[in-house]
Amino acid sequence: MKADAIVVGAGPAGSTCAIELAKNGAHVILLEKSAIGRYKPCAGGLLGANEEEFGKLPNSVRQQSINQVVIGTKDRIGKMNPIHDGEKFGTLVYRTEYDRYLAESAQSAGAELYTETEAISANRFNDRIEVETISKNGEKNTFLSNLLVIATGLSSSKIQRSLGVEYPRETVNCVQAEFTIADSIIEERFGGGDIEIYWDAKGIASHGYAWIFTKPGGLTVGVLDYFIKVERLKKIIKKHPAISPRLQGAQPLLIEKRHYWAASIPDRISEYTYYPRTLVIGDAAGFVDRMNYEGIYYARKSGKIAAEVILKAISRKNFSAAYLGRYEKRWNREIYLPYLLDSRFTHHFYYHSSYLDEFAKAVVDVLNDETVIKKLYQEARKNKEIKYLYKSEIFQLEMVKKLQETYDKETFNDMYKHFIHENPV
């Protein structure tokens, strides 16, 4: 029997798309190559936009609130609180439970979920899409549908290659490790729950950062850069002057007998995200913030937009690329312009200017300047547009002032060029 849509990949993008389709009455098949509940290397930080758009998560999935954000350099940290009293920056989750919750929600909404079922190729015909699968025990199957949604993240490109669909080739690499630690230390050292980002071009990464994210009784520690090996994270954990002391008392947590896990994140949005009978969503389409490499919100949002476009396509029986192009118009308006465009500029001045350490120091200088920070919070409280202080224009203006105070005119002018770059990479 031909389904309305086959969604390949039950990560945040695919499951969200399947939830929206199924709850609106579409016949959806959701294919996932892994078993549900498999560990996925991810820091699990869900910033505020997630809850605003998709609602509160059940307590069994929410691990902890994000009470503060810490920005660190080689030798100093700055702390940031939410703009409004009583507000939180967001929520911390483990991806194992989070992905399970989303996949099961899709199933409860009516999607047919097939786990340990890998989509290995797809064919597009005038009247249908056919997806070939292989299950863990070697059983082959063919699923038919009107539409295909590719939500495979970066872990495989088989489907894309079989259809001639673009696949993100520009990526950054990450290495991550989990630790256990006493809750009393999280309370005392990490303000009861925070996310910490450390910039240090030589000691950590010139095109990325290291992070410590807290969970109840645990810490997720990782590093991202263009090219990275496990040894880099090991060295940071052991020797980095800012990070190593934060990890005192933490014990390695082995998952599937491994401590260090590697994974990639896309570093550019794909040129083409819609084709006849086919849409590409989430990491598979390259939707991430290129400053902090957060991708879960954009994965879910693109999944939701894709579902809304598909529901209309189903009612009009129009599965052409021309019709599905509405998806691109919407993600451009609802994802790229309000969020990801700005991250191209910040990406440029942090990671492509050769002034990463100077900019990071300026951020920490602003955060530690009590008079300036008090003024910024007052301004931010009046401006509803500002969600995150460190990403706001008023914050960046103060950074520029700190740079101007600290460096000679020639150096400052050279730095400033990167702030106002017209054509960021």
Ligand X SMILES: Cc1cc2nc3c(=O)[nH]c(=O)nc-3n(C[C@H](O)[C@H](O)[C@H](O)COP(=O)(O)OP(=O)(O)OC[C@H]3O[C@@H](n4cnc5c(N)ncnc54)[C@H](O)[C@@H]3O)c2cc1C
Asked if residue 364 binds ligand X (CB under 6 A), the reply is: no
Instruction: Please tell me whether residue 178 binds ligand X under the rule CB under 6 A.
Output: no
Contact with ligand X (CB under 6 A) among 165, 237, 296, 360: 296
Nearest to 8 by CA among 158, 164, 108, 169: 158
The closest of 211, 210, 215, 223 to 185, measured between CA atoms, is 215
263 near ligand X, judged by CB under 6 A: yes
Q: Going by C-beta distance under 8 Å and a sequence separation of 6 or more, which residues neighbour residue 126? A: none
Quote the least distance from Cβ 297 to ligand X, whole Å: 6
- Report, in Å, the least distance between residue 119 CB and ligand X: 4
* Nearest alpha-carbon partner for 296 in 308, 282, 312, 311: 282
| The two structure tokens encoding residue 394 | 């008023």
CB 386 within 8 A of CB 338: no
Q: Minimum Å distance from CB 252 to ligand X?
A: 17
Instruction: Give the list of residues 6+ apart from residue 393 with CB closer than 8 angstroms, or none.
Output: none
Regarding 8 and contact with ligand X (CB under 6 A), the answer is yes
Looking only at the bridges linking them, the beta strands covering 140-150 and 129-135 are antiparallel
For ligand X, the closer CB: 158 or 352: 158
**Smallest distance from ligand X to CB 76, Å:** 23
What character string, x for contact with ligand X (CB under 6 A) and - otherwise, covers 208-247?
A: --------------x-------------------------
Q: Which listed residue (118, 178, 267, 358) binds ligand X by CB under 6 A?
A: 118
Q: Which of 241, 66, 31 is nearest to 150 (CA)?
A: 31
Q: Which of 115, 152, 273, 343 binds ligand X (CB under 6 A)?
A: 152
168 interacts with ligand X by CB under 6 A: no
- The total of other beta-carbon atoms located within 10 Å of residue 182's CB is 13
Question: Applying CB under 6 A, does 151 fall inside the site for ligand X?
Answer: yes
Could you list the residues that contact ligand X (CB under 6 A)? 8-14, 31-34, 41-45, 118-119, 151-153, 155-156, 158-159, 174, 176, 222, 263, 265, 282-284, 288, 294-297, 299
